[in-house]
Amino acid sequence: MKDTNFIWPVILFLLGLLMLINPKLLWKIENCFTVKDGEPTDLYIAFMRIGGLLFMFASIIFSVVCFA
């Protein structure tokens, strides 16, 4: 493996953490040009948090498999 491949699990983990902690911010970034004064639905927030957990889990698995 290249020495720069360690950055991808870190990026994946941080993105997952952001998805878990603040899904509304990601919704605003995603929809800033299309929706004015909108709010994400509860379903969107729930799926973002589940996706964040999956991203964090995947980054840990990737790190263990590739760097162990």
Contact 1/51 with Cβ under 8 angstroms? no
**Cβ neighbours, 10 Å, residue 4:** 7
- How far apart are alpha carbons 21 and 50 in whole angstroms? 11
pTM to 2 decimal places: 0.83
pLDDT of residue 1: 52
User: Which pLDDT belongs to residue 7?
Assistant: 87
Distance between CA 17 and CA 10 in Å, rounded?
10
Cα–Cα distance for residue pair 42/47, rounded to 1 Å: 9
Q: What is the pLDDT of residues 10-67, one digit of tens each?
A: 999 999 999 999 999 999 999 988 988 889 999 999 999 999 999 999 999 988 888 7
68 has a pLDDT exceeding 60: yes
